[in-house]
Amino acid sequence: MGKAILKVLPLVALASLCACSPRYLLTRRLAFDLISASTAMRAPQPLLLHTGLVSNKDYASTDYMVLRRYGWISAAPAKCNAEVSPPPCWQVALTPAGVSVVNSAAPSAGSDQEVFELPLARRQVVAISGITKDGNAADVEFVWRWVALNEIGNALYSSDLRYKSVVAFRFYDDGWRLVEAPIHSNQSIDDALKTAEPAP
The whole-number pLDDT of residue 19 equals: 47
The whole-number pLDDT of residue 186 equals: 64
Tens of pLDDT along the chain (200 residues) come to 556 555 655 555 555 544 445 789 999 999 999 999 999 999 999 999 999 999 999 999 999 999 999 999 999 999 999 888 788 999 999 999 999 999 999 887 666 788 999 999 999 999 999 999 999 999 999 999 999 999 999 999 999 999 999 999 999 999 999 998 765 456 788 887 887 878 87
State whether 192 and 154 are in the same domain: yes
Question: CA-to-CA distance for 92 and 109, rounded, in angstroms?
Answer: 17
Answer whether residue 110 is part of any domain: yes
The whole-number pLDDT of residue 3 equals: 64
Q: State the burial class of residue 154 (Cβ atoms within 10 Å of its Cβ: 0-12, 13-18, 19+).
A: middle
Final residue in a domain of this structure, among 98, 119, 140: 119
State whether 133 and 82 are in the same domain: no
Residue 79's domain comprises: 45-119
State whether 98 and 49 are in the same domain: yes
Answer whether residue 14 is part of any domain: no
Answer whether residue 4 is part of any domain: no
Total tally of structural domains belonging to the chain: 2
The whole-number pLDDT of residue 18 equals: 47
Write down the pTM of the prediction.
0.76
In the three-class reduction of DSSP (H, G, I as helix; E, B as strand; rest coil), residue 80 is classed as: coil
Cα distances (angstroms) measured from residue 87 to each of 12, 28, 80, 83, 125: 74, 52, 6, 11, 42
From first CA to last CA, the distance across the chain in angstroms is 56
Answer whether residue 12 is part of any domain: no
State whether 64 and 162 are in the same domain: no
Mode of pairing for the β-strands spanning 89-94 and 73-78: antiparallel
Answer whether residue 31 is part of any domain: yes
State whether 125 and 164 are in the same domain: yes
State whether 128 and 111 are in the same domain: no
Answer whether residue 170 is part of any domain: yes
Answer whether residue 91 is part of any domain: yes
State whether 101 and 137 are in the same domain: no
Final residue in a domain of this structure, among 88, 119, 150: 119
Segments of the chain assigned E as strands: 45-50, 52-55, 73-78, 89-94, 115-134, 137-148, 163-172, 175-178, 197-198
